[in-house]
Copies of this chain bind each other. A is one copy, B any other.
């Protein structure tokens, strides 16, 4: 259940029986041939699926994350790291204020990882706050699915090519992953990655994607039990 479908009385009622909430940290950024909001859509789909099984509420996603290296790709919208961290803090403090105590943060984008530091700072000062942080594509269970199929997970390759992130036909075949020494800036990133995929197959069978999704969902259900 998303907050969008509720009014405040509904949430007040919910808080009488539960204090868990799922927060989605997304990103609007180039994903090669995939949707610019793939990093919102994937964690939100996982949030919805786990909400359906557990009844835990889902907050509206933060649609923007930290992706300065993609700012040469039209459609990318990146918050400064400092802005992003402040936004995460404000969201947490808001929901903590009226009683949420167990927050599961579903992160959709690697550049958002620094949120972990700010969340720990908050957990140091907000009594009884428990925070879990899940970045699906880095989870052992998800990586295992990839390994079992001899696939390498990469930004904007098959890994993120779910039915719901596709906005056009995907190229056949594989892309060779370019390599680079150092931290490329936005101009160098575009020169390096061209179409934006970090390499590997552009798509795999729906069955594998379902397996991937199921693995992440299982992790989330485990984490929601806190």
Measured CA separation A7–B33 after assembly (Å)? 6
Residue pair A28, B7 in contact (C-beta under 8 Å): no
Q: Which of A68, A117, A121 has the most CB of B within 10 A?
A: A117
A63 interfacial contact with B, CB 8 Å = yes
Interface segment out of the listed A47-55, A129-137, A139-147, A206-214:
A129-137
Residue ID in chain B nearest A86 by CB atoms: B83
Residue pair A75, B8 in contact (C-beta under 8 Å): yes
Copies of this protein chain in the complex: 6
Question: Which of chain B's residues have a CB closer than 8 A to the CB of A14?
Answer: 74
Give the interface residue-count category, chain A.
Answer: 35 or more
Question: Which of chain B's residues have a CB closer than 8 A to the CB of A80?
Answer: 86, 90, 121
Question: Which of chain B's residues have a CB closer than 8 A to the CB of A113?
Answer: 113-114
Question: Which of chain B's residues have a CB closer than 8 A to the CB of A130?
Answer: 182
Contact pick for A95, options B7, B32, B77, B98, CB 8 Å: B77
Measured CA separation A72–B97 after assembly (Å)? 7
Q: Which of A5, A59, A116, A185 has the most CB of B within 10 A?
A: A185
A204 interfacial contact with B, CB 8 Å = no
Residue pair B8, A68 in contact (C-beta under 8 Å): no
Nearest-neighbour CB distance to chain B for A202, whole angstroms, equals 12
CB-defined A-B contacts under 8 Å, sample of 14: A6-B36, A7-B33, A8-B76, A8-B196, A11-B36, A59-B77, A60-B63, A64-B87, A75-B98, A76-B98, A81-B118, A113-B114, A120-B183, A182-B223
Q: A4-B41, A37-B60 are in contact. List 11 more A-B contacts (CB 8 A).
A: A6-B75, A7-B35, A8-B75, A9-B195, A12-B74, A60-B63, A77-B91, A79-B91, A83-B90, A131-B182, A132-B182
